[in-house]
A and B are shown apart, each in its own frame.
Chain A
Amino acid sequence: MLEKLGEVIRKATDKIANAIFLDKNLVDSIVRDLQRALLEADVNVFLVKKLTDKIKQTALDERVNGIEKKEHLIKILHDELLGLLGETKKLNIQKENRIIFLGLYGAGKTTTIAKIGNYFAKRGNKVALVGLDVHRPAAKEQLKQLAEKNNLDYFIDFDEKNALKTWKKFKPKLKDYKIILIDTAGRHTLDKELVDEISVLNKEINPTESILVMPADIGQAAKKQSEEFKNILNITGVIITRMDSTAKGGGALTACAETKAPVYFITTGEKINDIDEFNQKSFLSRLLGMGDLQSLIEKIRSVTDKEKQEKIKKQLEEGKLSLNDVIEQAKSMSSLGGFEKIKSMIPGLGNAKIPENLLESQQEKVAKWEHIIKSMTSKEKENPELLKKETSRISRVAKGAGVSTSEIRSLLKQYDMLNEMIKSGSSMDIDSTGMMNQKQMMKLAKKFGKFKKMKF
C-alpha cells in the first residue's frame, strides 16, 4: 500500500514545520527523500524533477521568511502533489451511455466491467454488458460468468469471430438499456491490426465514453501508453486497477494527469465491490494518513441497503441493539473490503500500529460469531444479558456452535462496547444531502481515535 510514500511526505512536512532555519542542507535532504519516494512510486522522472525543483526554489527564496515561509512551503508541497494527480472528474451518467473499455493485455478490463456494471446497477440503472473480445481464449466465458454471478444482463455471441459483426447483431436489442458497457480485446498501440479493429468499432459504436484500463504497477511506460491510446481514440477517462498490494500507482496516476485523462475509478481487489470513485483530495488525504471519512460513508451507503439502514438507525435511536445487529455490522464491514481497507479511511487509525494478522484474525472471529448466534435462542439474541446472568447458557451455546466459551465471552464484550458507544455519543446524524459537516467529522474522528485503544 501507500504507507511508505505517505510516511516520507509526512516526514518531509514535519521536517519543514520543525526546522528552526531552513538552510540549504536541510532542504536538500528533504528534496532527496521526496525524490526517492516519488520515483519509487513510479512517478515520471521529469515530473518528479519539476516538483522538487519548485520546492527547492520556494525554500531558498529569501524574500519570504520565518513561519510564513514554512507554511507556504507545506502548502506548495500539497498543491504540487495534488497537481500531479490531475483534476477530479466524475463519470456522469447521461440519458444514453455507450462506454467502451480498452487497455493492454491483462490490465483487468473484463473484471472491471463487471464491477462497473454492478456499481451502476446497484444505483438503479439498467445495465448491459457486451463482449467484443473475440481474440483471447475464453474471454467471453469470463464475462458471462461474471455477469451471471452478479445478475447483470449480457450480450455475447460465442461463435462470431468478428467484433464488428457481433456489435451490429446486438445493436437493436441494446436500445432498452441505459448503460451499455463494452468489453474489447487487450491490445497495444503498436499492433496495427488491432488498432484498425478498434477504430472501425469506435466509428460504428460512437461511444459516449472511452475508458482506458491501466494497472497500478505500470512503471515509466505509463505515460507513453496513455498518450498513445489517447491518440488513437479519444480517451475520456481512466480506471486504474490493482491498487491493492504494494503498487503505488504513481506511474499510472500521474501519467493520466499529464495527458489530461481524468481517473474515474480505482479498483482494489478481486471482489465485486472492490471499486472506488477516485477523488484526488481524498486520495492525498489518505496518502498523508489523514483519513477519508467521506469515502467511508459513501462506501457504507453503497453496500448496505436502505431497509437495513433504517432499521439499525431506529435501534440506534432507541439505544438498543441485539446481537444480530453486531453481526450485521461486522458483515457489512467485511463487504466493505475488510478491516484492512477501512483502516486507511479512518482518521488516526491509518497510522495506528495494528498488527497485521490481528485484523485478519478479527475477520475469522466474525465468521465464528455467526455460528455462535445461530446456536442461541431468540430470547438470548435479543437480551444477551441473559447469558451473563446464567452462565450455563454460555456453555450450552459453546457446545452447539463448536467453539470455546471464551469466544462467546469476547462476542459479548464486543456487544457491550458497541452498545456503550451508541449510548455515550449522540447518534451521528447525516443530514439529508448525505454530507457530514466538518464538526461532525471531527467528532467521529475523535470517537474512532478511542477505538485505537480497543482490544479486539
Chain B
Amino acid sequence: MFKFFKEKIKNWAEKISKHGEKETEEEKSEKAKEPRRIIIKETPKDEKRESFLEKIKGKISKIKISEKEFEVYSEELEMLLIENNVALEVAQKIINELKEKIAGKEFLRKEVENEIRENLKEIIENILVEPFKIVDKIKEKISDQAKEPYVILFCGINGSGKTTTIAKIADHLKRNGITCVLAASDTFRAASIEQIKKHGEKLGMKVIAQDYGADPAAVAFDAVKYAKKNFINCVLIDTAGRMHTAKNLIREIEKISKVCKPDLKIFVGESITGNDIIEQVKSFDWALNIDGIVLTKADIDEKGGTALSVGYILKKPILYLGTGQEYNKIEVFDKKKFIEKLGL
C-alpha cells in the first residue's frame, strides 16, 4: 500500500521549497516583474548587486506561499492523490484543508517541507477515525447482559468479499475465546449457502440456514434466537451482495437490520474500488447507519487511497483489512502504521 505515494509526496513538498529558490534567482535577474507569488522577506527587492552571500541568505530566509501560488502546486498534489485512488471529491477536500493551513502563512524555508508534511499528516489523522476493537466490544456486552448475543451484520456490493471476511472474523473471534454462530442470510446467489456452510465446517461453527429464496431476515432472526438459546456470544450475519442502487434490495437489508437489531453494522468494500466507493458507502450508510468498515483485497492494492475516501465520507472507523485468502490473512487496521506507510 502506498508504495509510490511516499516517495512522491516527499518530492512534492521538496519541490515547493525548492521552487522558491529558483524564484529567488529569477527575481533578482528580472527585478521589475511585479506581483511575485513567493515573497522573500529578507531579500530586499531593490538590491542591485548580487553577492554569493545573498544567495545563501535566500535559502535560509522565510517564505510565504500565497493562495494563488498554492493553487498552482495543489493541482499537482490533487493529481497525486487521485492517481493513488483517492476519490476526486475527497482529494479536493483534503487540499482545501491544507490550503487553509498553509496558504498565506510564513515559514522558514528549510521548514516548509516539514510544515507541509506535518499539516498533511494532521489532516489525514483527522480523517481516519481511531478503530475500536470488536473483541472488546463483544466481551463488554456479554459480560453485561449475560444472555444477549452480540449481533454483527455485514453488507456490501456483489463480490466485495463478505463471506470470506465473515469466515476470517469468525476465526479471529474464536481465537479470542468468543463463540460464534453464522447466519446464511444470502439466500439469493447460487451456492452462497454452501459456501458459508463449508466455512462453518472448517471453523467448527454452527451455520443457521434455510433454502434459497427464503426471507433473509427470517434466517438472521433464527440465528439470533439460536444464539440466545445456546448461550453463544456472537452472531455473524452474511447477506447477499447488492448494488447500492437497487432500491428494493436496500429496503430488504433495512428489514434485516430492523428484525435482528445488530449491535454492529459493517460495510465490506474493496480497497481497489475507485470513485464509486463513495456512492456505495453513502447509500449503505443512509439505509443502515454503518458502524465500521472492512476493506478487502488490500494485498492487491498498492495505492491505499480508498481508505482515505471511505474514512472521509463516513467518518467511521476502518476495522480490518483483508489481505488474502487464508483465515489468518486479516489485519486489524492500525491507523498509526497506515500513516507511517504514507511517509508522513
Q: Mark A34-55, 1 if CB is under 8 A from B, else 0.
A: 0010011110010001000000
**Once the chains bind, are B198 and A219 in contact (CB under 8 Å)?**
no
Alpha-carbon gap, A146 to B191, bound state (A): 9
B297 A248 Cβ-Cβ under 8 A: no
In the assembled complex, which residues on chain B have CB atoms less than 8 Å from the CB atom of A146? 190
B294 part of interface (Cβ distance < 8 Å): no
Which B residues lie within 8 Å of A309 (CB)?
A: none
Partner of A142, one of B157, B164, B190, B306: B190
A142–B160 Cα distance when bound, in Å, is 17
Within 8 A of B (CB), among A100-123: 104-108, 110-111
Of B194, B243, B244, which is within 8 A of A138 by CB? B194
The interface stretch among A23-31, A238-246, A381-389, A392-400 is A238-246
Distance to closest chain A CB from B228 (angstroms):
28
Task: Answer whether residue A270 sits at the interface, using C-beta atoms and an 8 A cutoff.
Answer: yes
User: Quick check: B82 and A45 within 8 Å, CB to CB?
Assistant: yes
Tell me whether A251 and B244 are in contact (CB under 8 A): no
Is there an interface contact between B243 and A245, defined as CB atoms closer than 8 Å? yes
Stretch at the interface among B8-16, B134-142, B266-274: B266-274
CA distance A139 to B87 in the complex (A): 33
80-94 of chain B: CB within 8 A of chain A = 82-85, 87-89
Instruction: Report the tally of A-B residue pairs with Cβ distances under 8 A.
Output: 149
B29 within 8 A of A: no
Whether a CB of chain B sits under 8 angstroms from the CB of A217 is: yes
* A242 in contact with B243 (CB, 8 Å): yes
- Inter-chain contact A245/B245, CB cutoff 8 Å: yes
User: Smallest CB-CB separation from B163: which chain A residue?
Assistant: A137
Query: Can you name the residue of chain B whose Cβ is closest to the Cβ of A141?
Result: B191
Contact status of A220 and B303, CB under 8 A, knowing A215-B159, A242-B157, A247-B276:
yes
Please measure, in the bound complex, the distance between the C-alpha atom of A108 and the C-alpha atom of B161, giving whole angstroms: 11
Given the complex, which residues of B lie within 8 Å of A219, measured CB to CB? 85, 272-277, 303, 305-306
B contact residues, total (Cβ < 8 Å): 51
Residues of the B chain whose Cβ atoms lie less than 8 Å from the Cβ of A104: 272, 297, 300
A74 interface residue, CB < 8 Å from B? Answer: no
Q: Give residues 231-252 of B contacting A (CB, 8 Å).
A: 243-248
- Contact call A137/B190, Cβ cutoff below 8 A: no
> Are A42 and B275 in contact, with the CB atoms below 8 A?
yes
Given A215-B159, A245-B245, A247-B276, the answer on whether A220 and B84 have CB atoms closer than 8 Å is yes
Q: Which residues of A contact B299 (CB under 8 A)?
A: 188, 190
Contact A245 B157 (CB under 8 A): yes
CB–CB A137/B274 < 8 A: no
Which one of B84, B161, B276 has the highest number of Cβ atoms from chain A below 10 Å of its Cβ?
Answer: B276
Q: How far is the CA of A279 from the CA of B56 in the complex (A)?
A: 61
Q: Does A64 contact B (CB under 8 A)?
A: no
Contact present for A246 and B83 (CB under 8 Å) = no
- For residue A218, CB closer than 8 A to chain B, the reply is yes
B199 close to A (CB within 8 Å): yes
Contact check, A218 vs B159: say whether CB atoms are below 8 A apart. Answer: no
CA distance A190 to B202 in the complex (A): 26
Q: Is the CB of A138 within 8 A of B192?
A: yes
Q: Which residue of A lies closest to B272 (CB)?
A: A221
B54 close to A (CB within 8 Å) = no
Assess whether A246 is in contact with B273, with CB atoms less than 8 Å apart: no
Q: A142-B195, A215-B159, A217-B274 are in contact. Are A188 and B300 (CB under 8 A)?
A: yes
Q: Is A217 a contact of B194 with CB atoms below 8 Å?
A: no
* A148 to B, closest residue via Cβ: B190
Residue A149, interface by CB 8 Å: yes
Q: Is A135 an interface residue (CB 8 A)?
A: yes
A145 within 8 A of B: yes
A137–B158 CB distance below 8 A: no
Mark interface residues in A215-245 (1 if CB within 8 Å of B CB, else 0): 1111111101100000000000000011011
Q: A204: CB under 8 A from chain B?
A: no
The contact of B158 among A218, A221, A270, by CB within 8 Å, is: A270
A206 to chain B, nearest CB (A): 27
Please tell me if the beta carbons of B88 and A36 are within 8 angstroms of each other in the complex: yes
Q: Which residues on A sit within 8 Å (CB–CB) of B270? A: 106, 215, 217
With A135-B325, A221-B272 known as contacts, the answer to whether A145 contacts B190 (CB < 8 A) is yes
User: B301 within 8 Å of A by Cβ?
Assistant: yes
- Which B-chain residue is minimally distant from A110 (CB atoms)? B190
> Which of chain A's residues has its CB closest to B195's CB?
A138
**Docked complex: A196-226 residues within 8 A CB-CB of B:** 215-222, 224-225
- Identify which of residues 147-197 in chain B touch chain A, using a CB-to-CB cut-off of 8 Å: 157-161, 164, 188-192, 194-197
A360 lies within 8 A of chain B by Cβ? yes
Given A220-B83, A220-B305: A142 touches B189 (CB 8 Å cut-off): yes
Among A39, A42, A222, point to the contact of B276 (Cβ < 8 A).
A42
**From B161, B191, B280, B303, contact of A105 by CB (8 A):** B161
Is A246's CB under 8 angstroms from B247's CB? no
Contact B199 A137 (CB under 8 A): yes
Q: Which residue of B lies closest to A142 (CB)?
A: B191
Q: Is B279 an interface residue (CB 8 A)?
A: yes
Task: Determine whether B60 belongs to the interface, using a CB cutoff of 8 Å to chain A.
Answer: no
Q: Which residues of A contact B272 (CB under 8 A)?
A: 104, 218-219, 221, 225
Q: Is A286 an interface residue (CB 8 A)?
A: no
Minimal beta-carbon separation of A281 from chain B (angstroms): 25
Q: A42-B274, A190-B299, A217-B277 are in contact. Are A145 and B85 (CB under 8 A)?
A: no
| Distance between Cα atoms of A221 and B271 in the complex (Å) | 10
A130 to chain B, nearest CB (A): 16
**Chain A CB within 8 A of B79 CB:** yes
B159 and A108 within 8 A (CB):
yes
Q: Which residues of B contact A242 (CB under 8 A)?
A: 157-159, 243
Q: Mark B289-305, 1 if CB is under 8 A from A, else 0.
A: 00000001101111101
Contacts of B83 in A (CB 8 A): 45, 220
Contacts of A357 in B (CB 8 A): 247
The answer to whether A246 and B300 have CB atoms under 8 Å apart is no
Which chain B residues lie closer than 8 Å to A105 at the CB level?
159, 161, 164, 297, 325
* Extra pairs beyond A108-B159, A188-B297 (15, CB < 8 Å): A39-B88, A105-B164, A106-B297, A136-B325, A137-B202, A140-B191, A141-B191, A142-B189, A219-B272, A220-B303, A241-B159, A246-B244, A248-B275, A270-B188, A360-B248
Which 4 pairs show the lowest CB-CB distances between chains A and B? Answer: A219-B274, A106-B159, A142-B191, A138-B195
Which residues of A are interface residues toward B (Cβ below 8 A)? Answer: 1, 36, 39-42, 45, 49, 104-108, 110-111, 135-146, 149, 188, 190, 215-222, 224-225, 241-242, 244-248, 250-251, 270, 356-357, 360
Residue pairs across A and B with Cβ atoms less than 8 A apart, 15 shown, are: A45-B79, A106-B161, A106-B270, A108-B159, A137-B198, A143-B191, A217-B270, A217-B274, A218-B272, A218-B273, A219-B305, A242-B243, A244-B243, A245-B279, A248-B275
Interface residues of B (CB under 8 A from A): 79, 82-85, 87-89, 157-161, 164, 188-192, 194-199, 202, 243-248, 270, 272-277, 279-280, 296-297, 299-303, 305-306, 325
